[in-house]
Structure 1
Amino acid sequence: MNASGILGSRPEALERLARAGSAALVTKSFTREPRSGYPTPIAVPIPQGLLNAVGLSNPGLEALPGLLERIRGLGKPVIVSIAGSTPEEFAEIAAAAEEAGAAAVELNLSCPHARGRGLEIGMDPVAVREVAGAAASTVTIPVLAKLGVVDRLVEVAGKALEAGARGLVLINTIRAMAIDVYAMKPVLGHGVGGLSGPAIHPVAVRAVYEVYREYRTDIIGVGGVEDWRTAAEMILAGARAVQVGTAVITRGETVISEIVQGLQKYLQEVGATSIQDVVGAAHKN
């Protein structure tokens, strides 16, 4: 599936992802009120991947029902990414997403550049437990906690699961920045942003591996997935599904079907009948 924030804000873009073979569709993060986001540039390619600081720009909850109504006929489950600053706010947005027709909600607990939201919540095990618990006790659809790279990731993941999260999304972009040496200022309008793409893939694989080893829970792996091999690494580490972000931007949404076809061939080569046969297989060897 696509990673949150990648072609996830307009019906036309989500239709393109559905045609490309995405098994599920993920919206960009919705907040209660509209957010205009950060000043441009908001995304800059660098040799290591992509830097972005969008600032959680979105039209707010009022626009969510219309978006889901427009894509209802695609026949794909829709995961609504949500972001808030308090447990009560997360619960309110989760309830609105369920009412609008979401198949699941993804709690954005890992945005690296939104003050008072995202990673500032996700690095605190107590806060993660409170947010996940508030959302899970409010809705009947699955709640997925999207976590970033923090010092106590395994502990934080455990708190989300204890509170009722049905699964985890690992990882988000990594806090980073680049400076234009001639302009002598950061290349992003916000200064600090998040790094995505190939550079963070080994970090994401490690995160999936360590969390799966501890909890054997459902995990969606994300971070530097750009072909069938990097997708397979995530699955072998313990992911049951993968999200693709930067590769969709750099190569187009057809990369999704290329990954699916490559994985099908890989399963034949290793004698597996389904993805389930190799989920977490790296822990058995």
Structure 2
Amino acid sequence: MHFTKYKFNVYRKKYIRSGRDSAVVGIVGKSKSLDFLKMLIFWSLVRNSVVLAVYLLFSVACFFTVHEHLSTGDIVLDFFSGSASTAHAMFLQELGKDDRYQFILVQLPEPCDPKRDAYKDGYETLCDIGEGRIRRAGDKIKTELEESNRQLKLGEGPKQLPDIGFRVFELDESGIEKPEPGQLLFDVVKPDRSDMDIVFEMMLKWGLELTLPVEKSEAAGYPIWSVACDELVCCMSRGLTIEALEAIADMEPRRVLILDSVLDDTLKLNAVQIFKHAGERMGCEIELRTV
């Protein structure tokens, strides 16, 4: 393995800084193109050479440990993800293999210098750059893999596209308002939150993994959100009917969330009875929760 130290060009040919003294060190596998690094571990905003030296030694040790011991289903966690080079490397690690990995990247929204091209092109923070890199890396791998599979050699099988999908989450307060004592709130969902925000919040509260598939579907013409093939069904829109509740019960979900703002007293009582009877048929309780 050949290693190179260089200033990492994260966007075009400009060196992104945060407005403070920065030192960026790349540890990469030998590659024909910087767009396809085997592995990049970098540290930004380092102003102390001793700290940088210690981090470098730690990074090298982590690189060899992770690279040599990855197994299918492993989760790689990067607390200083920067421009998401770890995600890029994980995509490449899966190419031509049956192994599948997952990764979690954590990065503070460090602002980019407004004078730099990245900021002018809409990348206001380092997180924005990371999201853009993951998308571009995935698109490029997909394009090149499709081209490669169209020109297979005799006896060579097509390569499988790695999972290039990802989700972005931001730490924030709950999207559900807590009424003050004596206060009545008709709609407890904060006005700046989307249905998906509430769905993912409820997934966390119910202990469901945030990597589970979430799909928008219908039940008797009523729009619903289904998590993990009806493990959780969320009713977020007005116009809920008894027919829709019965259709949802027929889907045999394990958990059901309904916003109080889409229920009246009669419909709420019907919902309790419908899911109680459905749970008896299933042999397990359907957990109904309203917020």
TM-score, reference length from structure 1: 0.31
Q: Select the structure of larger CA radius of gyration.
A: 2
Query: Which has a greater percent of strand?
Result: 1
Query: Which has a greater percent of helix?
Result: 1
Higher relative contact order (CA 8 A, sep 6+): 1
TM-score, reference length from structure 2: 0.30
